[in-house]
Amino acid sequence: MNTALSPLPDLPMPDTGAMPPPMSPPPPAISRQQKAAIIVRLLLSEGAELSLTDLPEEMQQDLTMQMGSMRSVTRETVTSVVEEFINELESIGLSFAGGLEGALNALNDSINPQLAERLRREGGVKRTGDPWERIMGLEVDRLLPVLEQESTEVAAVMLSKLSVSKAAELLGLLPGPQARRITYAMSLTSAVTPAAVQRIGQALASQLDSVPPKAFDDGPVERVGAILNFSPAITRDDVLEGLEEEDKEFAIQVRKAIFTFANIPARIDPRDVPKITRGVDQAVLVTALAAAEAGGLEESSEFILQNISKRMAEGLREEMKELGQVKDSDGEEAMSAVVAEIRELEAAGEVFFVVGDDE
């Protein structure tokens, strides 16, 4: 009996196709700060314009220090970080600006400005960004009270940061000695560091934010004067008499703010009279002049007639005679129309009121 073992047949090997390439090791674990530095560096290398000034200063500092400590990163690490960054962006459906300041900035044009300022103060939220941009955009009348109360050194920095025209206007509104002290202090500002200027700007912006906003654009004198300008003479005189009894100084200021038909000779430049008469309907002008002559305001009527062309003045005088007696209400309305025209020209800068010695 043949007991020799026959060789085993060759077993077929499973068909697995081509052998896979060796797997590359995963990139080393890196921190989120390093990932942020990689993304920022990559964007800058591609020519992107990044504005990081809205970030907190601590975050800007950390990013700068992180970028300064890194040398080189492998291509595999960059690819992995970019893919992770893109995936995170694509997974975000909606994002909210962080904190109360972010919410206030997002709602800047949608909520009441006074409410926004109150929430900012109560929440202890400081404005982000450059405070000097906000300060430089404010009007002179808003900046002047702050400038008057600040120390000479802070005032010098403030004027140095403002535009030349605005700084000159503010300087001209200050008392002479204070203006001279601030001007001298400006010569010493070359040693002030940028960080100190930034802190001063933040302090000033915070101080300006703490000033309660005004409910009215004009002061009480201007508002009362504007109302009395268009009130009937009997009402105007009665109100002014009452004001003099209650507050004589306020009454004086209101009288200066009032401009009526009687003020025309004292407050209007004779060269501006033709400009005024051109803007008033001739029938209204005739009525106003006739009412003025009949109501004891001959000086105003003559002032107008003497400062227009002789031919036009003669024509107006003829029409005044033909018109006869004018009702008080019609005369008041016509004189108010002339005053309104003068006010409009003055607001447009086409007519300038003459300032008396007592104003």
pLDDT tens digits for range 64-94: 898 888 888 888 888 888 888 888 877 776 6
Q: What is the pLDDT of residue 221?
A: 81
- Banded model confidence at residue 31, pLDDT cuts 50, 70, 90: confident
Cα 196 to Cα 187: distance, rounded to the nearest angstrom: 16
Please provide the DSSP assignment of 154-202 as one string: HHHHHHHHS-HHHHHHHHHHS-HHHHHHHHHHHTTGGG--HHHHHHHHH
- Banded model confidence at residue 6, pLDDT cuts 50, 70, 90: very low
Q: What is the tens place of the pLDDT at every residue in 152-201?
A: 999 899 989 988 888 888 888 888 888 889 988 888 888 888 888 888 88
Cα 359 to Cα 357: distance, rounded to the nearest angstrom: 6
Q: Tokens in use for 151?
A: 């120390």
Of the two residues 36 and 213, the one the predictor is more confident about is 36
Of the two residues 240 and 26, the one the predictor is more confident about is 240
Cα 154 to Cα 3: distance, rounded to the nearest angstrom: 113
Evaluate if residue 210 carries a pLDDT over 70: no
Evaluate if residue 212 carries a pLDDT over 80: no
Q: Which residues contact 294 (CB under 8 A, 6 or more apart)?
A: 325, 326, 331
Evaluate if residue 241 carries a pLDDT over 60: yes
Evaluate if residue 232 carries a pLDDT over 80: no
Q: What is the pLDDT of residue 304?
A: 95
Evaluate if residue 302 carries a pLDDT over 90: yes
Cα 280 to Cα 166: distance, rounded to the nearest angstrom: 38
Evaluate if residue 41 carries a pLDDT over 80: yes
Check: pTM over 0.75? Answer yes or no: no
Question: Quick one: average pLDDT of 238-251?
Answer: 87
What does the mean pLDDT of the chain come to?
80
Q: What is the pLDDT of residue 9?
A: 45
Q: Report whether 297 contacts 336 (CB < 8 A).
A: no
Question: Quick one: average pLDDT of 96-118?
Answer: 64
149-184 in b/e form (b: 16+ CB < 10 A) is ebeebbbbbbbebbeeeebeebbeebeeeebebbee
Cα 170 to Cα 41: distance, rounded to the nearest angstrom: 45
Q: Report whether 158 contacts 150 (CB < 8 A).
A: yes
User: Angle at Cα 145 formed by Cα 147 and Cα 126, nearest 5°?
Assistant: 75
Lowest mean pLDDT among 5-19, 156-170, 173-187, 321-335: 5-19
Cα 49 to Cα 98: distance, rounded to the nearest angstrom: 23
Question: Quick one: average pLDDT of 265-283?
Answer: 93
DSSP classification of residue 309: -
